[in-house]
Each structure stands twice: as structure tokens, then as C-alpha cells.
Amino acid sequence: MPIMQISITPVGTPSTSYSHYVAQACQVPARRGLKHYVTPMSTVVEADVNTLWEVAREMHQVTLAGGANRVITNITIEQRNDAFDSMEKRVQAVTNPQPAPHM
């Protein structure tokens, strides 16, 4: 399943604190019922690639609609077609590593 990491940075806001804007953006995948994790620096979402693009656009737009005059959105999408992939599998690969294969 494709995985997206997205970071929304509102600028041009009345305050240096912008957690309110980010919180609105982070509600987008939740409202859609998508598997997602909010981290201190970004949000990670798992869905088909077309849905990920829609979610990214909506998260960006909801931040502008919420009052930010400018928004910087960084997106990374990885789609793996050669094997099953998921957020849980990625985390487990790091927290419970297997020995590296010998070449």
C-alpha cells in the first residue's frame, strides 16, 4: 500500500504558533477513515496513491481556508509494487530488525 509523509507549514499567520492550522489539516485523513499517524514533524498516511494526492491537496487547502496567508507543503510518497508494504511493517522492520542477508 502506498505511504505518504506530509508536512504542512503555515506561514503568514498572526502568531508564531501554528498548531491550530496543523490540527485542522491532520483531521483530513481521520475524517476519511484512513490509517494515519501524526508525528511531531509530519503526518504519515496509508492509502491508494490517488487518495493520497487528494488528501494532500485537501490538507493544503484546509490550511489556507483556515486563515493562513501562505502554506508550505512537503510531500513524500513511496509506492512499492514488488512486495506488500505498510506503516506497521516499516516500523517493525526497525524495532525488530532481522539479520541482514549475506551477499
- pTM score, whole prediction: 0.86
CATH architecture for residues 3-95: 2-Layer Sandwich (3.30)
Percentage of residues in the chain having pLDDT higher than 90: 68
State the average pLDDT over residues 60-89: 92
Per-residue pLDDT at 100 = 79
Per-residue confidence band for 103, with pLDDT thresholds at 50, 70 and 90? low
Distance (Å) of CA 24 to CA 52, 63, 65, 67: 17, 7, 10, 11
